[in-house]
């Protein structure tokens, strides 16, 4: 199967896992020594490294899920991710760099639905055993403003 | 009506402004809800004799650098002039009121020119040019009586403390050292003194609540180990730890700090209360909490607030400043600026990046603070005539070795009422 199709499949699986509230499966979309950062366009442009979320291991992603499930307090909510098609930026062996635009609507328990975030995924996929997994995902939100809080991952 | 309440009513010409009791243990919910309170705050608090955080000095290091910010509703330009000094002025053209500067920040400015009619200001905020001032071909133009020096945007007084730039619209504001007092100054010095900070991130959290609900939350050491499970379970902040609250004489500024006490076992008080805080929780990647002693004093947490709207935070190695900007009665911008230091080793810098997960809009221990103010704002929606209760730790607003207290919240209201005259 070609890389493009594997990546489209991986991205669809990724957003369905979050939007369907199967967060425990979310870290499986990453390699063990992965990097996952949620930042903003302004911070990214200026080279400011601190993210809204910053993880450099799959363990940290698992901890994010445990904290959301067991520790943090926030109102029940869900996302609906809508992705544009990924642009392949470069390919080198099993590694593929892509950029993918996203829109995320947030639905609160009372039904209020807002456009919560827009931006792009800057991804480095590594394909192993016919599966594209994330070595790196930098979530660059277009805005630096976050309404109330960012609980579920983007 | 009994005599004492009649006197109270007479004392407060507007009964809606009357405080329900002379002490500090009650707060009427209407102060979080009413337009007239918000408007009065803009004058008395945000343009009154108080200091407001504007930016970090390192954000405008050389002449021609600037940032725009807000003091309450008022937009403000903070500018480093070519004389090396920092100036701040209202971002409002003296002509017809348009914004003078549309950018959030920039470098190399010689002047600021309003886009509307090209009235131009130098980097100190002085009007230096009016387009077509002398008319065209002898016709039109400003009258001879018009003097540019009489038409400047309002200028702010500016003061810097350990690289923090503060400003005030008021000429009556006391010198900042006097305003803060020695205890608060020394605790700012502890975090920022003799070190060169660098900015590593900026985010804004839009809070669905009145600005004062966030400031109460910052000053509330009582909630920290109850609402924030992450904090407590990892013994970053247990009320039984060593620590204290400092409340300054005005009541408005505070410091809450704690030190991990390795000898302290699990506290019986927690078990008795059956709080959520007792639940088991383990990290898959504990490197998140493997920090270093930044200051060599074992203090793992220091939250410092400067009345009315500034917070300096050290939570382990996560250093940040927070600026609170009201955006309406029930909406507040919380501007986070994450800091590191220029002399960090790469390993120390990585610790700061990881521990930034503790704070901010997705912070393990500050996420809840983003929503709990909204829970209050919604909870009190039909209760303008009811009051909050602030009796934990007594009725005073003074320093305390116990953090099971609302002393610094009471302090906030003490300072607030002084400035508001209520």
Q: Each residue of B256-304: pLDDT tens digit?
A: 998 866 555 455 555 555 444 444 567 889 899 889 999 988 898 999 9
Does any CB of chain A come closer than 8 Å to the CB of residue B205? yes
How close, in Å, is residue A37 to chain B by CA atoms? 10
Query: For B1-28, how does the pLDDT look when each residue is reduced to its tens digit (9 = 90+)?
Result: 344 443 443 344 555 567 888 899 999 9
Segments in chain B below pLDDT 50: 1-12, 265, 274-279
A57/B287 CB distance under 8 A: yes
Q: Which two tokens stand for residue B266?
A: 């699990």
Which residues on chain A are in Cβ contact (under 8 Å) with B204?
144-146
How many CB pairs below 8 Å do chains A and B form together? 120
pLDDT at B1: 37
Q: Could you give phi then psi for residue B19, rounded to 5 degrees?
A: -85, 145
pTM above 0.95, yes or no: no
Query: For A90-147, how does the pLDDT look when each residue is reduced to its tens digit (9 = 90+)?
Result: 999 999 999 999 999 999 999 999 999 999 999 999 999 999 999 999 999 999 999 9
Does any CB of chain A come closer than 8 Å to the CB of residue B287? yes
Nearest CA in chain A to B234: A71
Selection from B205, B198, B256 nearest residue A50 by Cα:
B198
Query: For A29-73, how does the pLDDT look when each residue is reduced to its tens digit (9 = 90+)?
Result: 999 999 999 999 999 999 999 999 999 999 999 999 999 998 898
Q: Give the C-alpha separation, B240 to B225, whole Å.
A: 10
B206/A75 CB distance under 8 A: no
Q: Give the C-alpha separation, B271 to B268, whole Å.
A: 5
CB B155 within 8 A of CB B91: no
The strand ranges marked E within B183-298 are 197-207, 242-247, 254-259
Bridge partners, residue A113, by sequence: A107
Q: Give the C-alpha separation, A37 to A135, whole Å.
A: 12
pLDDT at B232: 65
Q: Could you give phi then psi for residue B242, rounded to 5 degrees?
A: -65, 135
Which residues on chain A are in Cβ contact (under 8 Å) with B202?
42-43, 48, 144
Which residues on chain B are in Cβ contact (under 8 Å) with A151?
362, 367
CB B364 within 8 A of CB A67: yes
Burial (Cβ within 10 Å: 0-12, 13-18, ≥19) of residue B208: middle
């Amino acid at each position: 199967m070609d890389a493009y199709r594997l990546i489209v499949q991986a991205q669809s699986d990724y957003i369905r896992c979050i939007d369907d509230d199967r967060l425990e499966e979310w870290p499986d979309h990453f390699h063990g020594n992965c990097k996952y950062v949620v930042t903003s366009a302004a911070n990214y442009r200026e080279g400011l490294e601190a993210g809204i979320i910053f993880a450099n291991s799959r363990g940290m992603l698992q901890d994010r899920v445990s904290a959301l499930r067991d520790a943090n307090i926030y109102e029940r909510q869900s996302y609906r991710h809508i992705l544009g098609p990924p642009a392949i930026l470069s390919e080198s062996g099993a590694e593929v760099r892509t950029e993918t635009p996203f829109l995320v609507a947030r639905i609160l328990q009372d039904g209020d639905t807002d456009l919560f975030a827009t931006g792009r995924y800057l991804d480095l996929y590594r394909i192993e055993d016919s599966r594209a997994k994330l070595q790196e995902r930098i979530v660059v939100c277009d805005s630096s403003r976050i309404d109330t809080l960012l609980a579920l991952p983007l | 009506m009994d005599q004492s309440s009649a006197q109270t009513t007479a004392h407060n010409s507007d009964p809606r402004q009357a405080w329900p009791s002379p002490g500090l243990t009650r707060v009427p919910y209407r102060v979080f809800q009413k337009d007239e309170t918000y408007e009065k705050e803009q004058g008395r608090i945000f343009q009154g004799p108080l200091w407001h955080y504007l930016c970090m000095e390192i954000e405008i290091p050389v002449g021609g650098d600037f940032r725009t910010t807000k003091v309450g509703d008022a937009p403000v330009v903070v500018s480093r002039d070519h004389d090396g000094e920092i100036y701040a002025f209202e971002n409002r053209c003296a002509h017809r009121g348009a914004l003078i500067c549309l950018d959030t920040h920039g470098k190399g400015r010689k002047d600021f020119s309003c886009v509307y009619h090209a009235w131009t200001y130098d980097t100190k905020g002085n009007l230096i040019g009016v387009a077509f001032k002398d008319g065209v071909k002898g016709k039109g133009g400003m009258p001879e009586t018009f003097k540019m020096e009489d038409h400047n945007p309002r200028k702010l007084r500016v003061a810097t403390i350990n690289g923090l730039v503060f400003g005030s619209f008021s000429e009556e504001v006391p010198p900042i050292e006097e305003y803060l007092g020695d205890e608060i100054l020394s605790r700012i010095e502890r975090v920022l003194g003799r070190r060169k900070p660098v900015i590593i991130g900026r985010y804004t959290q839009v809070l669905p609540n009145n600005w004062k609900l966030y400031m109460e939350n910052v000053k509330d050491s009582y909630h920290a180990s109850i609402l924030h499970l992450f904090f407590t379970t990892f013994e970053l902040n247990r009320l039984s730890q060593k620590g204290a609250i400092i409340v300054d004489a005005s009541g408005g500024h505070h410091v809450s700090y704690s030190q991990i006490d390795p000898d302290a076992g699990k506290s019986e008080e927690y078990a008795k209360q059956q709080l959520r805080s007792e639940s088991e929780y383990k990290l898959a990647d504990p490197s998140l909490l493997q920090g270093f002693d930044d200051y060599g004093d074992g203090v793992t947490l220091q939250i410092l607030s400067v009345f009315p709207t500034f917070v300096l935070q050290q939570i382990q190695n996560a250093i940040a400043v927070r600026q609170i900007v009201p955006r309406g009665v029930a909406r507040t911008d919380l501007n986070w600026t994450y800091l590191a230091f220029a002399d960090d080793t790469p390993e120390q810098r990585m610790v700061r990046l990881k521990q930034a997960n503790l704070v901010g809009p997705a912070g393990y221990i500050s996420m809840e603070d983003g929503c709990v103010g909204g829970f209050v704002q919604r909870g009190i929606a039909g209760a303008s005539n009811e009051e909050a209760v602030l009796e934990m730790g007594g009725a005073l607003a003074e320093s305390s070795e116990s953090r099971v207290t609302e002393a610094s919240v009471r302090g906030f209201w003490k300072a607030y009422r002084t400035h508001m005259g209520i």
